[in-house]
């Protein structure tokens, strides 16, 4: 037990950064360490830069580990578990996703699986991205009937979280509303979900807190552009 509140209570692993928990290049062997119901406080530092100056802030989130079909998943306030039913796309931590209208394949062996997610479309204009789900927190392989259990991931649907961001004309700035679209990331490049801003789009889902967040895309520490965002539920957006 890592005591966080004097000797009155605490968590299994205390304060741990978002990158140490979720980034592909983390050096902590979580799969070897974790037991069911282990707890941690995820620490997400970010810097707000606006006309009034520069402010360093930290968001915290209490997470509990659950083993689902034998795989570790972090759950907590504002986090759900859903199934990647894209058969050709593997998600990275920090990648936005949409609610999928397609059910899980009948070959998966899972009954009544309704919570499925997919990659955003290229542009948020029109109706293509009107149903954002959230930001994927785990490395999540493309769906395959033979290994369906591996395609579940924790997905943050409300709260503060790092995310991949667009870098072109739709790159978001501090305080702007965000939508989900795509950005070519890595080398060779892969078209991945990313947050962006847009003047005429459906599916607004939050605000930008910081645009200087570094994201990691592989175990070697290859970097990509990111943002720290605040995801809001639909009643809070409007």
| pLDDT at res. 106 | 64
- What global pTM score does this model have? 0.89
| pLDDT at res. 107 | 61
- Which helix (H) or strand (E) covers residue 62, if one does? strand 53-68
Read off the tokens for 58: 């930290």
| pLDDT at res. 134 | 94
d(CA 21, CA 28): 8
Provide CB contacts within 8 A for 82, sequence distance 6+. 97, 115, 116, 117, 133, 152, 153, 155
Q: What angle do CA 42, 46, 52 make, to 5 degrees?
A: 150
- Whole-Å CA distances, 57 to 46, 47, 72: 5, 6, 29
The mean per-residue pLDDT over the stretch 80-102 comes to 92
pLDDT tens profile 153-178: 999 999 999 999 999 888 988 889 99
Indicate the pLDDT class of residue 109, thresholds 50, 70 and 90: low
User: Three-state SS for 234?
Assistant: helix
Can you list the alpha helix ranges (DSSP code H) found in the chain?
Answer: 18-22, 30-33, 234-237
Most confident of 22-31, 121-130, 200-209: 22-31
- Which helix (H) or strand (E) covers residue 83, if one does? strand 79-84
């Amino acid at each position: 037990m890592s005591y966080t509140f004097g000797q009155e209570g605490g968590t299994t692993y205390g304060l741990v950064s978002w990158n140490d928990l979720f980034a592909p290049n983390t050096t902590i062997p979580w799969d070897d360490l974790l037991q069911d119901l282990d707890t941690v406080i995820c620490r997400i530092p970010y810097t707000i830069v606006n006309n009034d100056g520069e402010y360093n802030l930290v968001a915290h989130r209490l997470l509990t580990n659950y083993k689902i079909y034998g795989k570790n998943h972090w759950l907590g306030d504002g986090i759900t578990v859903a199934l990647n039913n894209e058969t050709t796309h593997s998600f990275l931590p920090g990648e936005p996703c949409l609610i999928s209208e397609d059910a899980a394949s009948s070959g998966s062996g899972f009954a009544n699986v309704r919570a499925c997610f997919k990659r955003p479309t290229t542009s948020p204009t029109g109706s293509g991205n009107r149903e954002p789900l959230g930001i994927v927190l785990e490395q999540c392989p493309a769906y395959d009937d033979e290994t369906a259990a591996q395609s579940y991931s924790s997905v943050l649907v409300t709260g503060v979280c790092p995310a991949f961001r667009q870098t072109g004309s739709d790159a978001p700035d501090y305080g702007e509303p965000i939508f989900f679209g795509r950005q070519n990331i890595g080398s060779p490049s892969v078209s991945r979900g990313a947050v962006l801003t847009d003047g005429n789009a459906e599916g607004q889902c939050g605000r930008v807190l910081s645009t200087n967040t570094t994201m990691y895309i592989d175990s070697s520490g290859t970097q990509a552009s990111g943002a720290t965002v605040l995801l809001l539920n639909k009643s809070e957006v409007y």
